[in-house]
Chain A
Amino acid sequence: MISFNYVTKTYGNGFPALRQVNFELGDGEMAFLTGHSGAGKSTLLKIILLMERCTSGQVIVNHMPLDKIKGRDVAYFRRTIGVILQDPYLLPNSTVHQNVALPLVFSGCRHQDIASRVRAALDKVGLLSKEKMPIETLSQGEQERVSIARAIVHKPKLLLADEPTGNLDPALSTEIMHLFEQFNQMGVTVLIATHDLGLIGHLRHRILTLHQGRMVSTGVRMMADEELVV
């Protein structure tokens, strides 16, 4: 699903955010991307989302080399991905329904389909009862779940999350992680960037660790210990 081949990203100011990064994430796999602040996690996700272009190397997502995707096709590419960010990036003056419906509206879905799919997505994140409520009236945890509903409403094959539990308390964070696991069990490939090792310690998924822009490990954490199986 995702393949990084010797990917380097250097920003305009000369700062190397990623250096020769190599890894692969298969279809239906779930992985965590960890590392300290400034390690390059967000840059890596931005490259997958085509919010940034890599300086060298090759990135393939869903069998598509990203360097072949032209500017006007970026929007169509992004419709194949679900994105969740630390700041939920929701429209403040709109309702829960309007926010979740956005990807379907952009894809040109029929009105009836939009209504049913939005309700299905909200049901999955437990917010069906708040469909018509304005976003401002929701708690932070609920807003995060709206963001997740928006990311899955168009049934993407790939789900990317950047610090999705950064603003949430531990109980809510665990709940959110369980949601991601559920989506993964439905066949969705999931890549979550987080620095909360405590949260992912008990989850048995691959952990990709970045350190100063380099991928230092791509293994599976067995338990809560630090040992990685590469």
Chain B
Amino acid sequence: MTEEKHIISAQKWTSHSFLEATMFKVRQYLLNHYEALRQSAHELRQTQLGTLLTFLMIGVSIALPAGLWTAVHNMKGLTGGLSHNAQISLFLRMDVSTNEVENLMDVLKSNRAIASIQYISPEEGLKEFSTRIGMQGLSDSLSDNPLPAVITVEPKLVGENDSELENLTVFLRNLPGVDNATLDFKWLKRLHSILIIGQRTVYALALLLGLGVLLVVINAIRYLIQRYHKQIQIYQLVGATDPYIRRPFIYMGLQYGFWGGLLAWMMDNLILLVLTPSVRNLADSYGVAFHTPYLGILALLTLLCIGSVLGALGGYWAVNSYLRQQQRA
């Protein structure tokens, strides 16, 4: 019985001491990280101008692809709106009768691919045309109205599937009483193609500038490592492990990237603030709704994450290559 008690007490003691040791190790680990973060922040404060310049370089490198991405994204939104509002104009024959028009309207209304239709008589068309070109008395000066009746058709098909819209146009063109049907869609397709190229360019640019951020961080950290060369030697001499030596430099890189990301977000929003009124005017002239494209919290978090990860990677790479170099020497 006594022996059992001893065993139980020993087990309790073992599990307790194991827990205590684990807790101590975790606490020590976190303390080491906190200390490295504090040390790196202190170092960045020491070299204010150099640090600020590095922040700006990283900020610009991140702001450029982020800004371009926002621009392309918004343009895609605009063209998406255009394709959604795509209209097919049916120009009727000049000699079409009222009965034929009514029959045609019935056929169009019953078509499931069509959302709405609007009939514009030749008189209404001429009036609108006169107003647009600023010649109010044009209808009076013409003996005959040269314009045909037009039915504008708004399809239900939504944007991405161009061939369906084209098929619908062909179908409408062959209806009785219709002289011609036009879907002014080619320029929109070209714009889509340009935007796809733009999007891919943004990806390539993001990759290149991401590499640029990495190189800027590596360069900055290498400079700092040179300054701390002797301190690193001392640390190594008295038993500091490589992770211990690496840690402050990784945190420095992380902070470079973090603040660079924040600056990028601010720069992009500033540019958007300046550009928004002009873009809104342009969108209004096309009759497209334009929403304010500012980079929000999600974009901020994304930029901070991208910047921090790139910075930390750069810091790791710089200090690791230094340690490897030392080992080789």
Contacts and interface: CB of A to CB of B under 8 A. Distances in A.
A75 B28 contact: no
A72 B234 contact: no
Q: Which of B24, B25, B230, B237 has the most CB of A within 10 A?
A: B237
Contact of B28 (A83, A102, A108): A108
A76 B24 CA distance: 19
Contacts of B244: 75, 106
Given A71-B327, A108-B28, A110-B24, A79 B234 contact: no
Contacts of A106: 235, 238-241, 244
Given A71-B327, A110-B24, A91 B240 contact: no
Contact of A49 (B237, B241, B327): B237
B116 interface: no
Interface in B145-192: none
Contacts of A103: 238-239
B239 A107 contact: yes
B231 interface: yes
Contacts of B24: 110
Interface string A142-179: 00000000100000000000000000000000000000
A152 to B, nearest CB: 12
A89 B233 contact: yes
Contacts of A117: none
Interface string A61-103: 0000000000110011011000101000111000000000011
B240 A75 contact: yes
Interface of B: 24-25, 28, 230-231, 233-242, 244, 327
A90 B234 contact: yes
A91 B231 contact: yes
Contacts of B230: 89
Contacts, number: 45
A108 B25 CA distance: 8
Contact of B236 (A75, A108, A110): A75
Given A71-B327, A91-B231, A78 B28 contact: no
A102 B241 contact: no
A37 to B, nearest CB: 22
Contact of B241 (A75, A83, A90): A75
Contacts of A91: 231, 234
Nearest to B240: A106
Given A78-B238, A83-B238, A102-B240, 15 more contacts: A49-B237, A72-B242, A75-B239, A78-B236, A78-B239, A79-B238, A83-B237, A85-B237, A106-B238, A106-B239, A106-B240, A106-B241, A106-B244, A108-B28, A110-B24
26 contacts: A49-B237, A71-B327, A72-B241, A75-B236, A75-B239, A75-B240, A75-B241, A75-B242, A75-B244, A76-B239, A78-B236, A79-B238, A83-B237, A85-B237, A89-B230, A89-B237, A90-B234, A91-B231, A102-B234, A102-B235, A103-B238, A106-B238, A106-B244, A107-B239, A108-B25, A108-B28
